[in-house]
Amino acid sequence: MTTVLKAEDLRKQFGELTAVDNVSIEIDDGNITSIIGPNGAGKTTFYNLLTGVLQPTTGSIWLRSGVEDDLADVTDAEPHQVAQAGLSRSYQITNIFEGLTVRENVRVARISHEGTRLDFRSRATGDESVEADVEELLDLTGLTHIADTPCDTLSHGEKRTVEIALALAIEPNVFLMDEPTAGMNPTEVAEIVSLIRELDADLDTTFVVTEHNMDVVTDISDRIVVLAEGAILADGTPEDVLTDERVTEAYLGSDSA
């Protein structure tokens, strides 16, 4: 296995509060890793550090853009630079153009990525190649049947799936999924879980998931990392981590589900 994302002694201080407390972690390809923890554990702050939304107080972040690339230091990179370097994130807050159809949204995301590739890698691509990529993304995410539907008429679950397609449009080496099942009904949860499994099997992309629904976490994770009070409390297989008494205590001691 190869390390695709690495944090070294990562720390984020908000005044007196240490939201992320000297976290060191290596994420390997070929695994789905879930990062869980009770409310206020530091998950969102950790994601914001990894994606360049926040700057760490101390520590460093390293990212591998592709199989042939070395780990590169992205500690000081802006969010768009982190995305160009191969780290994509699906937000709980929607970033879809509501007035456009599903296909048009995917096309915009794809063209904007092609634009950055033209700028940064001088690789020319034609319209046909963009259209083929758009259809492939729609197919991969199971959105072809609603490709011509305006996004403002989609269900919540369908919109979350469009967000996944948009995040995949940049061909990420690592995909951070921010609570992929938040606000979904049980049918939508089952559908998104099977989509994540399929994408993991079909793509070289490595998936890292934060998720409050423990059934989903148990279902999809090869590895679970538990954050509590900003630090790593447990790290291992679902069997080991979810039977760890320290993990149960951390959850019981909070108001999280």
Ligand X SMILES: Nc1ncnc2c1ncn2[C@@H]1O[C@H](COP(=O)(O)OP(=O)(O)OP(=O)(O)O)[C@@H](O)[C@H]1O
Residues that bind ligand X (CB under 6 A): 14, 17, 19, 37, 39-45
Q: Least distance to ligand X from the beta carbon of 61, Å? A: 16
Residue 52 region by backbone torsions, left for phi larger than 0, else alpha for psi between -120 and 50, else beta: left
**Residue among 48 and 101 whose Cβ is closer to ligand X:** 48
Q: Least distance to ligand X from the beta carbon of 45, Å? A: 3
Closest by CA to 177, choosing from 52, 90, 105, 85, is 90
Q: Least distance to ligand X from the beta carbon of 150, Å? A: 31
**Residue among 86 and 230 whose Cβ is closer to ligand X:** 230
Q: Least distance to ligand X from the beta carbon of 22, Å? A: 15
Contact between residue 172 and residue 88 where contact means Cβ atoms under 8 Å apart: yes
Closest by CA to 108, choosing from 177, 66, 165, is 165
Q: Least distance to ligand X from the beta carbon of 222, Å? A: 21
Burial pattern 208-239, b for ≥16 Cβ within 10 A else e, equals bbbbbbbebbebbbebbbbbbbbbbbbbeebe
Whole-angstrom distance, CA of residue 178 vs CA of residue 16 = 26
Task: Name, in order, each residue with C-beta under 8 angstroms of 212's C-beta and a sequence gap of 6 or more.
Answer: 36, 179, 182, 256, 257
Q: Least distance to ligand X from the beta carbon of 253, Å? A: 14
**Residue among 40 and 238 whose Cβ is closer to ligand X:** 40
**Residue among 39 and 194 whose Cβ is closer to ligand X:** 39
Q: Least distance to ligand X from the beta carbon of 41, Å? A: 4
Alpha helices in 53-155 (DSSP H): 79-84, 102-121, 127-140
Residue 200, classed as helix, strand or coil, is helix
Angle at 35 between CA 88 and CA 82, to 5 degrees: 25
- Element at 172 (helix H, strand E): none
**Residue among 138 and 177 whose Cβ is closer to ligand X:** 177
**Residue among 17 and 67 whose Cβ is closer to ligand X:** 17
**Residue among 41 and 199 whose Cβ is closer to ligand X:** 41
Whole-angstrom distance, CA of residue 113 vs CA of residue 102 = 17
